[in-house]
Amino acid sequence: MTFLRAAFVSLRPHQWTKNLLVFAALALSKHLFEAGPFLETLLAFAVFCGLSGAVYLVNDVADLERDRLHPQKKLRPVASGRLRPQAALLSAGVLGASCLLASAGLGRAFVGCAAAYLVLNLAYSFHLKNTVILDVIAISLGFVLRAVAGAVAISVRISDWLLVCTFLLALFLALSKRRHELVSLSGGASDHRAILAEYSPYLLDQMVAVVTASCLMGYCFYTLAPETVEKYRTDRLSWTIPFVLYGIFRYLYLVHRKEQGGSPTDVLLTDWPLLLDVALWATAIVAIVYTAAGPPVPLGR
């Protein structure tokens, strides 16, 4: 495996789908089909793909010894020795600096979001991932920063309710991942990830139950909130609640009955009922928002 190929694999491009969250503000502002805002959001997406790739490189170096104990992660380029740790860190530094420089084209607020995302994830790699509860909260805040960054990239305000839903859904996925790791690795779980010694399947199940209910209620409140109805001049967003309900229940089914959930991205891309549900939900959102009588959200420029 050549250096470039090993470095690219370490960027985990299959995980970049998480950064599609930056398009949420664009779609909900009714500017999705306008060239200017779309290209700005596309640049924001590229910046966050680069930043997340840089973080993955640093994280692979930080977790080098533990990854070698994991049945799948030991095959990663850094853990397997195909990419030297020094080369990985140098690549991460160059990529991270380049992305921060490119983010300047989207304004100071976006630079702040990008820098905050980078700092948060570096703090996670070296400290927060070993602090119980704060580890999953840090992961969830990373998704919130993606959503906020997508809004500031085109200078529109994003709903507070939507940020709450983003945080809760990300927390649901993070807790489910912790449960999968704890159960699948059994007695060797803490050797792979030290923080797993602080959790138990029962504790995680209790947390997931609370977050699941909170996420569903938060989404219901968002679709029915007076400000949402006024913004789009329709209450039809509530019609998308069944898609969210099915998606969460389907994911819980895969975690508990099919022993999946170790990688939310892989689950989404390989489970066709879940993938179809997400596609139908997104289509319904766009159809409802763009056929509603409300005008596009003004761009704050």
Residue 90 belongs to a domain: yes
Residue 253 belongs to a domain: yes
- Give CA torsion, residues 126, 129, 135, 138, to 10 deg: 30
Q: pLDDT at residue 239 above 90?
A: yes
How many CA within 13 A on the CB side of residue 291? 9
Residue 297 belongs to a domain: no
pLDDT for 284: 96
pLDDT for 186: 67
| Residue percentage of the chain with pLDDT more than 90 | 68
CATH assignment at residue 178? 1.10.357.140
Q: 34 is in which domain, residue-wise?
A: 3-291
pTM exceeds 0.85, yes or no: yes
Residue 300 belongs to a domain: no
The pLDDT tens digits for 260-296 are: 877 888 888 889 999 999 999 999 999 999 998 777 8
The residues, any chain, with a CB within 8 Å of residue 106's CB and separated by 6 or more, are 40, 43, 44, 47, 152, 153
pLDDT for 1: 53
Residue 258 belongs to a domain: yes
DSSP state of 294: S
Residue 298 belongs to a domain: no
Residue 244 belongs to a domain: yes
Cα–Cα dist 177/156, whole Å:
32
pLDDT for 300: 65
Q: 301 or 109, which is more confident?
A: 109
Cα–Cα dist 119/107, whole Å:
18
pLDDT for 208: 96
Tell me, rounded to whole angstroms, the distance of Cα 2 from its chain centroid.
29
Residue 150 belongs to a domain: yes
Number of folded domains that form the chain: 1
pLDDT for 301: 54
Output b/e per residue, 90-111; b: 16+ Cβ within 10 A. Answer: ebbeebbeebbebbeebbeebb
Tell me, rounded to whole angstroms, the distance of Cα 94 from its chain centroid.
23
- Give CA torsion, residues 244, 249, 250, 254, to 10 deg: 140
Alpha helices in the chain (DSSP H): 3-10, 24-28, 35-62, 64-67, 77-80, 85-103, 108-126, 134-153, 160-185, 189-192, 201-224, 226-232, 241-257, 264-270, 272-291
Q: Assign 90 a pLDDT band (cuts: 50, 70, 90).
A: very high
Query: In 10 A of CB 199, how many CB atoms?
Result: 22
Q: 294 or 140, which is more confident?
A: 140
